[in-house]
Amino acid sequence: MKRTLSTWALLFLFIHTLLAQQISGPIQIHEDQRYFITAKGEPFFWIADTAWELFHRLDLEESKIYFDKRASQGFNVVQAVALAELDGLNDPNANGDKPFIDEAYSKPNEAYWKHVDAIINLALERNIHLALLPTWGDKLTKASWGTGPEILNSKSAYDFGKWIGGRYANQKNIIWVLGGDRNPRKDSDDVALWNQMAKGILEIQNPNNKQLITFHPQPSEPGGSSNWFHQEAWLDFNMHQTGHCPNQPTYQKIAHDLALTPIKPTLDGEPMYEEHPKCFNAKELGYSEATDIRKIMYWNVFAGAAGQTYGCHAVWQMYDLDKTPVNAPLKPWSLSLDLEAANQVKNLKSLMLSRPYFERIPDQSLIVGEQQDNETYVSVTRDKSGSYAFFYFPDGKKISIDLKNLAGKTFKITWFDPRTGIEFIGNGGDPLPKGTNLPITPPSSGRGNDWVMIIDSLD
């Protein structure tokens, strides 16, 4: 009965959150500078899907199918690119239109952009924000891959930023994402160029409809966007790409950003995708699975991230049988929308919104002893007052915990299943006394047996 009641409570919370967060304006940043809020000041926990080729490859009916599914799964942000990666300047969209009508790529094609308008509004109707990349980075530099052509310089970046910023200045569901899988090159004007694009967007921004701006990099050290732009006034929050290999200590990048001054929210905007060749080597390593994806998500969020982006390898590229595949997707996009982890992101969102949200901080001191940065790493988050704590166990290993930073003398243990969202009372229902070396054994162990232990103060 307790398990049934807990399940219904989480279901009610999830449905209530979806219904309550009708979009009335762009998301903003909470006064503590670590998390997002809605235009109405409610907690906004970023759960994004990756749909880089959305505008380029899907028609409106396909876009409706896509958004309906993602909305039903609890996603509240979709990341997509206006000038797409896969030959987005010269390969027409699903309607046969290209972004520009001239060979200099300077005169926008209204038919193409009306299609972009329509898709953005489809998202708005479903209460989904659009994290909009004006362009993919290959339009600046193809580097060792990419189609290009390389059309951006400081002037064209400013002009395009001002044009596209003006087009969507009054749109209620836009978040701007500059970059596009390219890091600024050493001894280049790349930083100045992105600054110019941001300047163009900001110069025409509606002050009554402030839209946040960030930057999407390649994997980098020690941070992501913060490596080049943290001190720029236009950068409202940081974004990482942590790459497509499993079991990387992604939480270290989140911690790095949150230690910077000024404080800005941070998140992983491109983690390993579901059903992606591990380290781009499917033959020897296979494809990523839901357990790999959940691990990254919980690690990052418990380290202090303001949310998490999800991706599916077939969906980002909107792969279909008539399209050239990129890095061996397993099946078409429409058959990849219901993958396991895609249906589990709502569990993370419901968990994080189930306790006081803005007071949440990471606190690894609740674990006794040192841990190795490997696939068994247990991560911890709690609220500042010590009324609760969450412990994420990637594979159910045994640990000892130290509750000195929590308030009260006795505590309730609840186990939360990231796979199903179900929770049940732990410790046989008995209160846990306060202690500094308390042994904890999760309900099961091994690959795919990840758990969250919830500790609530009873005093």
pLDDT at 72: 97
Query: Between the CA of residue 382 and those of 17, 352, 394, 441, what are the distances in Å?
Result: 21, 10, 18, 20
Query: Between the CA of residue 372 and those of 278, 378, 399, what are the distances in Å?
Result: 22, 10, 13
Burial class (CB in 10 A: 0-12, 13-18, 19+), 355: middle
pTM above 0.75, yes or no: yes
Q: In what helix (H) or strand (E) does residue 381 lie, and over which residues does it extend? A: strand 379-383
pLDDT at 5: 41
Task: Output the six-digit token pair for 34.
Answer: 């670590």
Alpha helices in 204-237 (DSSP H): 226-229
pLDDT at 457: 96
Give the DSSP letter of residue 447.
T
Give the DSSP letter of residue 236.
-
Residue-range domains of the chain with CATH: 26-352 (3.20.20.80), 360-457 (2.60.40)
Dist. CA 344–CA 138, nearest whole Å: 33
pLDDT at 159: 97
pLDDT at 21: 78
Q: Are 254 and 244 in contact (CB under 8 A)?
A: no
Contacts of 83 by beta carbon, 8 Å cutoff, 6+ apart:
89, 99, 134, 135, 136, 139
Q: Helix, strand, or coil here: 322?
A: coil
Tens of pLDDT, residues 355-369: 999 999 999 999 999
Q: Are 218 and 244 in contact (CB under 8 A)?
A: no
| Regions of the chain where pLDDT drops below 70 | 1-20
Q: Give DSSP secondary structure letters for 235-247.
A: --SEEEE--S-SS
pLDDT at 144: 76
Q: List beta partners, residue 361.
A: 382
Tens of pLDDT, residues 106-116: 999 999 999 99
Q: Helix, strand, or coil here: 400?
A: strand
Q: List beta partners, residue 83.
A: 135
Question: Distance between the two ends of the chain, CA-based, in angstroms?
Answer: 25
Q: What is the mean pLDDT of the chain?
A: 95
pLDDT at 12: 45
* CA–centroid distance for 411 within its chain: 32
